[in-house]
Amino acid sequence: MAKKKSNQIKWDYASAPESTGHIQLKDRYDLFIGGKWVKPSSGKYFDSINPANKKVIAKVAHANGSDVDKAVKAARKAYDEIWSRISPAERAKYIYRIARLMQERARELAVIESLDAGKVIRESRDVDVPLACNHFFYYAGWADKLEYAFPNRRVEPLGVAGQIIPWNFPLLMAAWKIAPALAAGNTIVLKPAETTSLTALKLAEIIKDSGLPDGVVNIVTGFGDTGAEIVNHKDINKIAFTGSTAVGKIIQKATAGTGKKLTLELGGKSANIIMDDAPLDQAVEGIINGIFFNQGHVCCAGSRLFVQENVADIVIEKLKHRMKSLIIGDPLDKNTDIGAINSKEQLDTINKYIKIGLKEGAEMYQTPCDLPKGGYYCAPTLFTGMSQSSVIVQEEIFGPVLTIQTFRTVDEVIQKANNTPYGLAAGVWTDKGSRIFNLTTKLKAGVIWANTYNKFDPTSPFGGYKESGYGREGGLHGLEAYVKLK
Ligand code: ADP
C-alpha cells in the first residue's frame, strides 16, 4: 500500500540480528476507530520512547472522552449491524486470518515490541509474538463451537467490550483480550498502555488488512484518563482490565452497580518454593526465569523465593554464580538476557524499593556489571535477611528484584507463601509428587507451576485470588468472561 513518504520513517535495524532490515513505523499514529485512522479531537499526541536509548520512536494520539465515545459508537454499530449477525463460522475465518497475518509479520512485531517496551528480542520473538498468534488460533477454533463449550446453555455475546491493558506484554495482552472477545461475538474498544502503544497499533493495521468489518475492533491510545473514559462509558457492557491493583480497585468501584461484567487481572507477589529434594540446578534456572524474565515486569513473577534451610546456602551460591553470566544490554541483540526497564517511572519505582530494602536492613547482592549507558537499566538484585513483614517482601516491585527467605517445614512455607494480599501464582520445586500435591492444594494462588515457571499456553486459564483480581483469561474460562449464559 502506498503511503506518504513524509509520514514515515524507515527503521533500518540491519544490525539487529533478528531484523529483516526494514521495520515500517509511522512517525505519528492516530486512533483506530471504525476501521479508519482518526485524529484525536484534542489534537494532542504524546511520545512513545525507546527505553533502551530514551529516543522518541513515534508520536501517539491522546484520546479524550469524545474520541472514546466515537469508538464506542463504532463498536456498537458494528455489533448491531454485523458482528452479532454473521455466522460463528464466518467470525472464525476472520480470527484465523488475523492469526496468520500476525505470523507473517512476526519479525516486525517482535522488533517493534522490543524497541517500544525494552524487552529482549529473544523473548519477543520466541515467547510474546508466537503466544499472541496462538491465542488467536485457539479462540478462532472456539468461535463456531460455543454450544459445545457451554453445553445445554444458550450462549450470547455481551455486546461492546472495553479492554485496558498494561505495558509489560503489550501485544500478548492485546491478544489475550481481543481473541476471546471476538470469538464470543463481541466488538471491542481497546486501550494499550501509554508507554507501549505501538504493537497494538500495528495489530490495528493487521486487523484492517484482514478485512475484519469496520468498527469490530477499535484501538484508542492514551493515559489513565482515556482508560477511565472507557470504564465509565454508559454503552459498554464489559470491562476487562489488566494492570495495577490500585487502578483495579478504582475500576471495581466505578463499575459497581452498572451491570457491566468485569474481569480484573492485577498484581502479584508470587512465591517460588525450593524443597531440599529438588533438582537444584534446574531449580536455579527456574528461579532466574521466574524473576528475571522480562526484567521482572511480570505480574506472576516468582519474586519471593523460599528455600528450604538445609539447601539455602548452596542454592544462593549457585544463584549468584548463574546471575554473573546474565547479559544485560541492548534489547535488540539476541544474546541479551536482560533488557531495559520499561520507563523512567518504573525504574524510579524499582530504585525506591531497593532503597527501602536497604533501609529495612536487608542484605543486597547485585550482579557485578556495567549497566548500558543512555537507557533505563537495573542490575539483577537479590535481597536476604528480611522479615515476613518487610515492605520488599509484601509489595509488588515489578522489576528484577528477588527477596530470599528460608523455611524448615512445609507448613511454615505454606503459611509464609500465603501471607500477602496477593494470590496470582506460585512455583514448587521438589522431586516428590506427594509434596507437589500437598503444596499446590494449600497455596492460595490462581496458577501454580511444579518444577517449572512462567509457562503459558492459550488453553490454560490464568488469573488470581485475593487482591490479584478475579476472572480468568485463557482456555474455556477466558471465553466465559465474554458470554452471557442462559
Ligand atoms: P502501572 O502502574 O503498572 O503503569 P496501571 O494500572 O497504572 O499500571 O496501568 C495499566 C493500564 O491502566 C494502562 O493502560 C493505564 O493507562 C490504564 N489506567 C491507568 N489509570 C486508569 C484509570 N483510572 N482507569 C482506567 N484505566 C487506567
191 lines ligand 1 (CB under 6 A): yes
Nearest to 114 by CA among 205, 17, 27, 30: 17
252 lines ligand 1 (CB under 6 A): no
Q: CA 298 to CA 128: how far, in whole Å?
A: 12
Annotate 58-97 with DSSP letters as a single string. EEEE---HHHHHHHHHHHHHHIIIIITTS-HHHHHHHHHH
| 59 and 114 assigned to the same domain | yes
Question: Angle at CA 126, nearest 5°, toward 171 and 326?
Answer: 110
Residue 462 lies in a domain: no
CA of 243 to the centre of ligand 1 (A): 6
Residue ranges in the chain whose pLDDT is less than 70: 1-22
Nearest to 400 by CA among 369, 384, 418, 377: 377
Q: Are strands 155-157 and 483-485 parallel, antiparallel or unpaired?
A: antiparallel
Residue 222 lies in a domain: yes
Q: How far apart are the first and last CA of the chain?
A: 45
Catalytic status, residue 299: yes
Residue 2 lies in a domain: no
| 225 and 289 assigned to the same domain | no
Q: CA 178 to CA 158: how far, in whole Å?
A: 14
Confidence (pLDDT) at 126? 97
250 lines ligand 1 (CB under 6 A): yes
- 358, three cell numbers: 536497604
Residue 202 lies in a domain: yes
Residue 8: CB atoms within 10 Å: 13
| 240 and 281 assigned to the same domain | no
Which ligand 1 atom sits closest to the C-alpha of 398?
Answer: 3
What integer best gives the mean pLDDT of the chain? 94
- 281, three cell numbers: 540446578
| 120 and 209 assigned to the same domain | yes
CATH of the domain at 68: 3.40.605.10
DSSP bridge pairs for 45: 61
In 15-62, the DSSP E strands lie at: 22-26, 28-29, 31-33, 36-38, 45-50, 55-61
Q: Which helix (H) or strand (E) holds 202?
A: helix 198-210
Nearest to 340 by CA among 373, 372, 376: 376
| 277 and 232 assigned to the same domain | no
| 206 and 304 assigned to the same domain | no
Residue 1 lies in a domain: no
CB 89 within 8 A of CB 143: yes
CA of 229 to the centre of ligand 1 (A): 12
Confidence (pLDDT) at 85? 94
| 429 and 473 assigned to the same domain | no
| 299 and 250 assigned to the same domain | no
458 lines ligand 1 (CB under 6 A): no
Residue 89: CB atoms within 10 Å: 10
Confidence (pLDDT) at 201? 98
CA of 247 to the centre of ligand 1 (A): 6
Choose, from 299, 378, 396, 473, the residue flagged as catalytic: 299
243 lines ligand 1 (CB under 6 A): yes
CA of 312 to the centre of ligand 1 (A): 38
Does the pTM surpass 0.85? The reply is yes
164 lines ligand 1 (CB under 6 A): yes
Q: CA 482 to CA 175: how far, in whole Å?
A: 14
Catalytic status, residue 300: no
40 lines ligand 1 (CB under 6 A): no
397 lines ligand 1 (CB under 6 A): no
| 406 and 446 assigned to the same domain | yes
Which ligand 1 atom sits closest to the C-alpha of 223?
Answer: 16
- The total domain count for the chain is 2
Confidence (pLDDT) at 22? 67
**CB neighbour burial string for 15-44, b if at least 16 within 10 angstroms, e if fewer:** ebebbeeebebbeebbbbbbbebbebbeee
Nearest to 435 by CA among 274, 196, 326, 313: 274
Residue 463 lies in a domain: no
Residue 404 lies in a domain: yes
| 288 and 174 assigned to the same domain | no
The helix/strand/coil state of 456 is: coil
CB 70 within 8 A of CB 33: yes
Choose, from 265, 396, 467, 473, the residue flagged as catalytic: 265
CA of 223 to the centre of ligand 1 (A): 7
Annotate 121-166 with DSSP letters as a single string. HHHIIIIIHHHHHHHHHHHHHHHT-HHHHSTTS-EEE-SEEEEE--
| 193 and 339 assigned to the same domain | no
Q: For the CA atoms of 354, 356, 361, 366, what is the dihedral angle to 10 degrees?
A: 0
CA of 64 to the centre of ligand 1 (A): 15
- Measured by CA distance, the residue closest to atom 3 of ligand 1 is 244
Q: CA 280 to CA 273: how far, in whole Å?
A: 12
Written as one letter, the residue type at 302 is G
**Residue 28, domain extent:** 8-266+468-485
Q: CA 258 to CA 264: how far, in whole Å?
A: 16
229 lines ligand 1 (CB under 6 A): no
- Measured by CA distance, the residue closest to atom 18 of ligand 1 is 224
CATH of the domain at 434: 3.40.309.10
CA of 227 to the centre of ligand 1 (A): 7
Q: Which helix (H) or strand (E) holds 476?
A: helix 475-480
244 lines ligand 1 (CB under 6 A): yes
| 175 and 194 assigned to the same domain | yes
Residue 54 lies in a domain: yes
- Measured by CA distance, the residue closest to atom 11 of ligand 1 is 166
